[in-house]
Amino acid sequence: MSNTVTRIRLAVVAAAAGVLVLAGCSSSDSSDKSSGASCEPSKGKVTLQYWNTVNGMDKVVDLWNKDHPDIQVESKNISNDQYGAIGNALKAGKAPDLAQVGYDQLPTLRSQDAFVDASACKTAAGTESKFVPWTWSQAGFGGEGVYALPQDTGPMAMYVRTDIFKKYDVPIPKTWDEYTTAAEKLHKANPKLTMTFFDPNNAEWFNGLLWQNNANMYSYSDDKWHVTVESDKSKQVAEYWQKLIDDKLVRTDLANGSTQMFAAYQNDQMATQLGAAWGYTGIRDNLPGQAGKWSIVPMPTWGADGNSGDWGGSTVAFMKGGKHLYEAAEFNTWLNTDPEALALANEVGGLYPASTDGLKLPALTKGVPYYNNEKIFDVFAESSKKIDTDFSWGPTQKTVNLALQDAMAKAVAGDGKLTGALAAAQASALKSMDDLAIPATAGK
Amino acid sequence: MSRTAVMALMLVLAIYFMLPLYFLIVAATKPQGDLASTSGLTFSNFQLFDNLHTLFTFNDGIFARWILNTVVYAVLGAAVGTLISALCGYALAKFRFRGREFLFSVILGGVLVPSTALALPLFLLFSEVGLVNTYFAVFLPSIVSPFGVYLARIFANAAVPQELIESARLDGAGEFRTFFSVSFKLMSPALVTIFLFQFVGIWNNFFLPMVMLQKEELFPITLGLFTWNGQTARTPLLQESVIMGSLVSIVPVIILFIVLQRFWRTGLAAGSLK
Amino acid sequence: MTDIATRPTDAVSPPPRGRRRPRLDGGGPRAGTIVAFLTPFFLPFVLFYLVPVGYALWQSFRVVRRSGGQYGTSYTTFGGFEQYVEVFQNDEFWASIGRIGLFGIVQVPVMLFTALVMALLLDTHLLKLKGFFRTAAFMPYAVPGVIAAIMWSYLYSPQLSPVVDLLNGIGLKPDFLGPGAVLWSAANVSTWLWTGYNMLIMFSALQSIPQELYEAARIDGASNWAIAWRIKVPIIAPSIVMTTVFSIIGTLQLYSEPAVLRQISSNISSTFTPNMLAYTVAVGNNYQQAAAISVVIAVITFVLSFGFMRLTSKRAGL
């Protein structure tokens, strides 16, 4: 256990509650996939196990249980050690029917044979068109089946201290080039001021930046995984941040979400944060004195009209060993599409939905007082549309993330460069996959 | 070396050993906000009781549960462990049978096996039988202390005269009866020592519960505080509870150790006489 | 334990109720009784010590194989020394061994030397307040490694530490959590924890030396210094050997202290010590390799501690 794992857990907790709106379950036919398990209703009363890391999810589950006496759901919070709990349960053959799984952990768990394909369940399979495309793609492994339903996402944007930019008469950057220029100007105008911070122990965040640059890290063809963690696209991102670090234009001594990080913002020492949709409450609640000074704009892009990135988010997966796939699909679909469920989930979690219709929730279309009454969720909705659908995760993602973090921490401490960290992560990916007998080769 | 120099050296060392404890006591009395803003060595606003209240009410009072768990793992575990070590060590010391020396050397080998090396394989074994994430996952491996048997054998040899056992036998007493009515009493100071060693062993063993447990309700104090400490970055208010929790959990043990110091010394002396 | 044999017990006449027939030869107990004494320890010892050791060995000779497709189904099969080859080819493994080696070469001697000096001083007439000093040094032993590391991490943290404040005050800018320093910050926690314990072991050994042994030397005019180094230290050499062996074992197992410091310093990687590496590998589902790492750590521990005991016992002729 470590800082990192704790942080991953916290990020997952923070990224947890999903909110989707969908008027009724579609009955549109999905193409029958032969690989799917059979999906027949059970006879009599059924009790489902549903593990998640969402605080307050039991209230949403109560709502379901009240109306469905024959399909009772037991919610269990496993935020303390999400993947440890799931992994142990799988080993002991005691997996729940449904479990919350982050997008980046789906391939890892799939390679442990953790999921069951619910394609045969028409209720669940019919929701494809309701979700932001990349989420469906990742949850279904690019259309192979229905292994999980998307719950929430973390489209990225740039949180900006508009007052600081105004004070030093620097325009808010729209591209990464402008971001560097702005960083230089601000730092020159006030040596105590830096643009943002780079937390080397946050691979999930850095992956979001790689995702933005379409730096796809994995593909599968010819019976092999092709690993491209180290690619021209990813190196471009690494070199960019290396330069900011070398020129002392970003700080490297702050952990994301830490007291120290908020203190630095509190003391006007940093001007921006590259954050996800679920992070808006963090700024709001930890920096109450800076209400009105923050704004949220699209993250800087590579080139004039580039993509955005995603950081975090989760699915609700169909776990192997569950005996009631039909009922699990019914509940999972309801959980992530029913307006009443979504409204309540929004209230207890209040985070960012994976469903396109979910973005129209009243709570997500209003202006937010802390941010000058701006409709900040419009920015995230826009971001959501510009996220590369082809991006995918590796089957040993956790190991690769740790290797990336270890090497980034070294680079930040002056031992090596961020591009070297990508090479280390690439090597770790190949080695860890080889160790688990997953055929892999370095891609071009 | 002059007396003054010796005194000065020892004083510096004493300060070194006591400084973190002093810091902890001071920090435990402060409100969260004063931790960073006031000197760590001087008292500020006295808020010890508020902090205690926060500690025991946070997260539905899970800390009290952790204390209870620690008592189960460390106190009960060490008590059971001491009893089985005493029985085994006594038998190895006082009974003559074939294979005795072999068994003893296997146990001695066990003393050198790092307990952390056992944690991961134990985890795999336990996960196959579904014992992971239960009290037993930590309790059962904790009761085994090869070092305890080693000590028990030495103590039994030293404390229980063979003639006494022989005469009990002549009186017709069974071996268990002899053990519990005669030998146990003679060995009891030694048993306290064995208990203390095993208690510290379990109290210190962090890797095993960390590997075995996910349910917060099963955590010992150490794992609980470690988890909280990892969350302080996001929940700064927990910092004060980590400090308070550390203090609350070590003070009774320190007092116990000071009171029982003589048992340590006999145990340590015996332990070194190989 | 089936080979445990005892003198045959005579079963000529049934023993009186609740009592065994008195035996005038004073012979040992029956085999069943011996087994009853040994089993409560040996059963859990076998289950939770020997079986896991065997299981780790077995696992370490297995490798994961996979059948079919992108995600396939995994199974394990015999792989010979493949996992060990992997471990020995793993740079992270050697880096962690190197770190722990450096740690041990510096921390163990510093700690034991301090403990020895304290024990010797406590054993002289030069010192007052002996009980206080002994207690002060021993107190940290009551603190578990995790809590000790948490306490020290507050003393290392630039925001909270009075030590850092103090050093800043005299113009020093210490970074206890920096890339070069953090290993020694962890070493300091271990030293703090274990010096008093080791001191007490040595002190107890010193106390058991009969005073007459030094009387002669004293009459010959030997200084305290000479008595300490020429007479006392050689006599308590077995204790020093024992503390060294236990310190070596402890060093190789190092986990909690760096794990806690990792919570506040990015300069402790996920593979900082061999045990952290084993855990990280296990978290990545590579249990077979984690088992191999555990076995290698255990073997190194064995070799080093036995080796040290052999070496010193030969030298000192113990």
According to the CATH classification, is domain A155-309+391-442 in 3.40.190.10? yes
Q: Report pLDDT for A83.
A: 84
**Is-same-fold flag (A3-153+313-371; A155-309+391-442)?**
yes
In this structure, the strands spanning A218-221 and A224-227 are antiparallel
Judged against a pLDDT cut of 80, whether residue A252 lies above it is answered with yes
Contacts of C224 in chain B (CB under 8 A): 1
Of A220, A405, A415, the CB nearest to C70: A220
Nearest to C29 by CA among A192, B212, A274, B95: B95
Spell out which residues of chain B touch residue C138, defining contact as CB-CB under 8 Å.
257, 261, 264
Smallest Cβ–Cβ distance between C44 and the set B143, B221, B226 belongs to B143
Q: Which of B130, B232, B233 is the closest to A92 by Cβ?
A: B130
pLDDT band, very low/low/confident/very high, at A99 (cuts 50, 70, 90): very high
Q: How confident is the model at residue B233 (pLDDT cuts 50, 70, 90)?
A: low
Across the interface, whether the CB atoms of C146 and B169 are under 8 A apart is answered no
The residue-averaged pLDDT of C276-285 equals 89
Instruction: Kindly report the average pLDDT of chain B as a whole number.
Output: 88
- Find the CB nearest B231 among A10, A94, A255: A10
**Number of residues in chain C:** 318
Q: What local confidence, expressed as pLDDT, does residue B113 receive? A: 78
* Spatial CB neighbours of B45, under 8 Å, sequence gap ≥ 6: B30, B31, B34
Contact A322, A90 (CB under 8 A): no
Specify the DSSP class assigned to residue A53. Answer: -
Contact B274 C238 (CB under 8 A): yes
Tens of pLDDT, residues A341-379: 887 877 776 568 898 878 888 888 889 999 999 999 999
CB A101 within 8 A of CB A116: no
C277 interface with B at CB cutoff 8 Å: no
Domain boundary assignment for chain A: 3-153+313-371, 155-309+391-442
CB-based contacts of A434-438 (< 8 A; 24+ apart in sequence): A435/C64, A435/C86, A435/C284, A435/C286, A435/C289, A436/A111, A436/A395, A436/A396, A436/C64, A436/C66, A436/C74, A436/C285, A436/C286, A437/C63, A437/C64, A437/C65, A437/C66, A437/C74, A438/A111, A438/A225, A438/A395, A438/A396, A438/C66, A438/C72
Distance from CA of B25 to the nearest CA of A (A): 23
CA distances from B73 to A434, B151, B220 (A): 40, 21, 8
Chain B: residue nearest C56 by CA?
Answer: B121
CA B105 to chain centre: 25
A402 in contact with chain C, both atoms CB, cutoff 8 A: yes
Instruction: Average the pLDDT over B216-228 and give the result.
Output: 92
- Whether residue B127 and residue A10 make contact (CB cut-off 8 A), yes or no, is no
- State which of A18-27, A174-183, C57-66 shows the largest mean pLDDT: A174-183
- Assess B68–C contact: CB distance below 8 Å, yes or no: no
> How far is the C-alpha of C196 from the C-alpha of C133, rounded, in Å?
10
CATH architecture for segment(s) C82-316? Orthogonal Bundle (1.10)
The full DSSP string for C111-122 is HHHHHHHHHHHH
Contact C182, C272 (CB under 8 A): no
- Chain B closest-CA separation from residue C308 CA (Å): 13
CA distance C69 to chain B (A): 27
Question: Is the CB of C48 less than 8 angstroms away from the CB of B140?
Answer: yes
A372-381, C64-73, C213-222, C278-287, range with greatest mean pLDDT: A372-381
Q: Kindly state the tokens that stand for C156.
A: 């290392």
Q: Rounded distance, CA B108 to CA B86, Å?
A: 15
**Closest chain A residue to the Cα of C175, Cα to Cα:** A253
Chains with at least 3 CB pairs less than 8 angstroms from chain B: A, C
Using the CB atoms, write b or e for A277-303: b if 16+ within 10 Å.
bbbbebbbebbeebeebbbbbbbbbbe
pLDDT band, residue A36 (cuts 50/70/90): low
Are A2 and C178 a contacting pair at CB < 8 A?
A: no
Write out chain A residues lying below 8 Å of B226, CB-based.
1
Answer whether A80 sits within 8 Å of B214, measured CB to CB: yes
Residue A437 has its nearest CB partner, among C64, C86, C262, at: C64
Q: Positive or negative CA dihedral for A312, A316, A317, A322?
A: positive
Q: Where are the alpha helices (DSSP H) in chain B?
A: 3-28, 32-37, 48-70, 77-94, 100-111, 115-128, 135-142, 146-159, 162-170, 175-178, 184-204, 207-212, 221-231, 238-259, 261-272
- Residue A349's pLDDT is 66
List the single residue in B214, B227, B233 with the smallest CB-CB distance to A258.
B233
3-state SS, residue A18: coil
Query: Residue C274 CA to chain centroid, in angstroms?
Result: 14
The answer on pLDDT for C4 being more than 60 is no
Is the CB of C259 less than 8 angstroms away from the CB of A2? yes
Query: From C263, which residue of chain A is nearest by alpha-carbon distance?
Result: A3
Residue with tokens 């909690």: C256
CB A299 within 8 A of CB A290: no
- CA diameter of chain B: 74
| pLDDT reading at B206 higher than 80 | yes
**Fold (CATH) for A3-153+313-371:** D-Maltodextrin-Binding Protein; domain 2 (3.40.190)
What is the chain A residue with the closest CA to B238? A259
Between positions 290 and 319 of A, the ones with CB within 8 A of C are none
Return the number of other C-beta atoms located less than 10 Å from residue C114's C-beta. 18
Q: Please tell me the distance from the alpha carbon of residue A157 to that of residue A297, in angstroms, as a whole number.
A: 6
Q: For residue C159, give the nearest of A199, A200, A260 by CB distance.
A: A260
Domain ranges, ordered by start, for chain B: 1-46, 48-272
Q: Is B164 on the interface with C (CB under 8 A)?
A: no
CA A164 to chain centre: 29
Q: B207: which chain C residues are within 8 Å (Cβ-Cβ)? A: 253, 255-256, 275, 279
Q: Is residue A433 less than 8 Å (CB to CB) from chain C?
A: no
Helix (H/G/I), strand (E/B), else coil: A49: strand
| pLDDT per residue as tens digits for the range B19-43 | 999 999 999 998 887 887 778 888 8
CA distance A271 to A173: 12
Residues of chain C contacting A, Cβ within 8 Å = 63-66, 69-74, 86, 159, 178-179, 259, 262-264, 266-267, 269-271, 280-281, 283-286, 289
Query: Does the domain made of B48-272 have the CATH classification 1.25.60.10?
Result: no
Provide CB contacts within 8 A for C194, sequence distance 6+.
C111, C140, C141, C247, C250
Task: Check pLDDT > 50 for residue C99.
Answer: yes
Confidence class for position A382, pLDDT limits 50, 70, 90 = very high
Q: Where are the beta strands (DSSP E) in A180-271?
A: 196-197, 218-221, 224-227, 250-251
> For C278-300, what is the mean pLDDT?
90
* Contacts for B273 with CB less than 8 Å, ≥ 6 apart: B154, C205, C208, C238
Which amino acid, A233? K
CA angle C57, C62, C65 (to 5 degrees): 165
Instruction: Tell me the residue type at B233.
Output: A
Instruction: Express each pLDDT in C152-176 by its tens digit.
Output: 998 998 877 888 888 888 888 888 9
pLDDT computed for residue B267 by the predictor: 67
Q: Give percent of chain C with pLDDT exceeding 70.
A: 90
Q: Average of pLDDT values for B247-270?
A: 82
How many pairs of residues across A and B have Cβ atoms under 8 Å apart?
42
CA angle B20, B23, B26 (to 5 degrees): 155
Nearest to B113 among C53, C121, C163 (CB): C53
Q: What is the pLDDT of residues B120-172, one digit of tens each?
A: 889 889 988 888 889 999 999 999 999 899 989 988 988 888 888 888 888 88
How far, in Å, CA of A398 to CA of C131, rounded? 52
Residue of C nearest to A109 (CA): C71
Q: Is C41 on the interface with B (CB under 8 A)?
A: yes
Q: Which residues from chain B sit within 8 angstroms of residue C126, using beta carbons?
A: 1, 3, 6
In Å, the largest CA–CA distance within chain C is: 90
